[in-house]
Amino acid sequence: MNESEFNQLADAAMDRIETASDECGVDINRSGNVLEIEFDNGSKIIINRHDINKEIWVAAKSGGFHFACQDGIWHSLRDQSELFQLLIALFAAQGEHIRF
């Protein structure tokens, strides 16, 4: 995947996350390539693009995750889980329901 393809796919994923987060009512702040999501209890999920590795990184209370796009799907490099499914679980752990 070249840089232009990565940028397009990563921007689309970040936009999708931002829109879904906004719709479920959590506090979100996007600054450049970083999306910070804050829950009522003060817990946060930080999502950022790592352009050099062509990955999306997620930092949450439960740990850090790196995702690479394969065939249009963002898969974890650790266990092949899918980005949006992980975010659903992370939001649920904070008592929030998010839909993509």
Q: What is the DSSP string of 34-76?
A: EEEEE-TTS-EEEEEEETTTTEEEEEETTEEEEEEEETTEEEE
Give the pLDDT score at 25.
87
pTM: 0.92
DSSP 80: -
Residue 13 vs residues 10, 42, 47, 89, 95: alpha-carbon distances, Å: 5, 24, 11, 17, 23
Give the pLDDT score at 16.
96
Give the pLDDT score at 14.
96
The total number of residues shown for the chain amounts to 100
Give the pLDDT score at 13.
97
* CATH architecture for the domain at 3-93: 2-Layer Sandwich (3.30)
Give the pLDDT score at 86.
96
pLDDT tens-digit profile of 35-94? 999 999 999 999 999 999 999 999 999 899 999 999 989 999 889 899 999 999 999 999
